[in-house]
Amino acid sequence: MTNRYVAKPAGSNWGEFGPDDQIGRLNYITPAKVLEGIAEVKIGKTFCLSLPLNIPGSSDLSPARKPPKIRTYPVGRRQVPFMNFRMSRVTPGVHDISSDDMAIIYLQHSTQWDGLAHYGRTFDADRDGEAEIRYYNGFKGEEDVITIMNDDATGGPYHGGALKLGIEKFAESCVQGRAVMIDLEKHFGRQRRAIGYAELEQIMQQDRIVVEKGDMVCVRTGLAQLLLEQGMKPDATLLNSVCTGLNGADPALLNWITQSGLAAIAADNVAVELWANDQKFEVYENSMSPLHSHCMFNLGIPLGELWYLTELADWLNAHNRNRFLLTAPPLRLPGAVGSPLTPVATV
């Protein structure tokens, strides 16, 4: 037991992988589990599981997250744009042309991993009796996850980041192993419905799906495909009224996540679960996103959102399969709390 916290939250696994652990249940993806994933590769066919990162084409679904912007930048004394740049400006007589660019990108706008610093809770109390901000394994807000820090280069303030639980820890673990597809769209179409454990268990029995310790679980709802169909002008009203998601307010579902030993969950919708602020779904244990709280805060389970699963799920259905090798490391970007990625499935 680390002295970082006095007590563990009920239902948490804090300390299971040591007091300084920062990758949670990704620890369950052992070399043996990687080999189990490799054993699922039968024909070498690959699938890209990322949306184009400019999808959604607006911030209507998540107002705080905007589409990326690609820009070039000026170089040299004349500040010439570094695009179709004639290298003869630098070395007379050469014929080389070079282009370079930069991206202004909200890391969680499109296909993403949520890191463990993305979602915390107030827990325990400090000396003044105020509830403290805590994250997985007891890491603290404003000590391990900082809001404002000073810029060493300018001396001015800039927005902070995760000194602990940064997304780079996932990247260093590589996030490669066996994954299992659960296809909700196959059973429910695009109806708006929160799926609890009873329905999930029925689907898993019907489709002969078994989730074992260390497996990563992918959940198709159909939302990412609908986003692609809408192009760069998504209809947020429609998108917020269709497609399934997991019911984070179902204690039986949360218990199954705990007991199954799954290492990560990725879905093709916005939040994996259907949020309580949808007004149709209840708050559970003082959380509007109880599945986020249970997975990231209690257990250290990464959540992937807005993955593109259509082609893979269709292929698996057509070949009576549900397991595959998944390779899904995020950007190795120190201090970030989330990351875009291009997951690859191999079958």
CB 26 within 8 A of CB 173: yes
d(CA 146, CA 142): 4
* pLDDT tens digits, 294-312: 999 999 999 999 999 999 9
* pLDDT tens digits, 8-50: 888 999 999 999 999 999 999 999 999 999 999 999 999 999 9
One domain for residues 171 and 256:
yes
CATH number of the structural domain spanning residue 172: 3.50.30.50
One domain for residues 78 and 51:
no
One domain for residues 193 and 227:
yes
Flag whether 155 is in a domain. no
Q: Which phi and psi (to 5°) does residue 256 adopt?
A: -65, -40
Flag whether 5 is in a domain. no
Q: Which residue, among 343, 341, 288, 346, has the nearest Cα to 321 in the 3D structure?
A: 346
One domain for residues 30 and 98:
no
DSSP β-ladder status, 303-305 and 112-114:
antiparallel
Flag whether 132 is in a domain. no
One domain for residues 51 and 174:
yes
- pLDDT on residue 189: 96
One domain for residues 49 and 75:
no
Domain count, the chain: 2
Parts of the chain with a pLDDT under 50: 1-2
One domain for residues 323 and 257:
yes
- pLDDT on residue 149: 64
Flag whether 326 is in a domain. yes
d(CA 65, CA 109): 5
Range of the domain at 333: 24-60+110-116+164-346
- Asked whether the CA dihedral 167, 5, 140, 62 is positive or negative, the reply is positive
One domain for residues 172 and 100:
no
Flag whether 309 is in a domain. yes
One domain for residues 215 and 276:
yes
CB 233 within 8 A of CB 57: yes
One domain for residues 177 and 266:
yes
One domain for residues 192 and 84:
no
Q: Looking at the chain, how many residues does it have?
A: 347
- pLDDT on residue 328: 98
One domain for residues 205 and 276:
yes
Flag whether 176 is in a domain. yes
Residue 98: how many other CB atoms lie within 10 Å: 12
Flag whether 121 is in a domain. no
